[in-house]
């Protein structure tokens, strides 16, 4: 079963549901407020494919980055955080 993303106009929250593709999305209710004014959101997906495997692949480290010192750079702050 796929995951579907929704937005609730009543409580103004995003939520995700695991639903059958046969379910009527117009009848979906918000799990937080039980609101019925929900909108289905288009989202990305990842199809299952054959021929590509991550087995035996080395994990990515900072040595693989163009600038290995990127992790030591200062974190930008918002003016409100200063």
* Average of per-residue pLDDT across 41-59: 71
Q: What is the pLDDT of residues 6-45, one digit of tens each?
A: 999 999 999 999 888 888 888 899 999 999 999 988 777 7
Q: How many CB atoms lie within 10 A of CB 25?
A: 13
DSSP assignment of 35-57: -S-EEEE--------SS---TTP
Tell the residue number behind the tokens 């579907």, with chain if given.
Answer: 4
* Residue 33 pLDDT: 94
pLDDT above 90 covers a percentage of the chain that reads 26
Position 20 scores a pLDDT of 85
């Amino acid at each position: 079963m796929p995951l579907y993303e929704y937005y609730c106009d009543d409580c103004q929250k995003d939520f995700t549901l695991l639903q059958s593709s046969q379910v009527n999305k117009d009848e979906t209710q918000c799990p937080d407020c039980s609101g019925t004014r929900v909108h289905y959101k288009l989202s990305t997906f990842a199809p299952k494919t054959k021929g590509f495997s991550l087995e035996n692949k080395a994990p990515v480290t900072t040595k693989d980055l163009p600038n290995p010192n990127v992790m030591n750079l200062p974190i930008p702050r918002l003016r409100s955080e200063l």
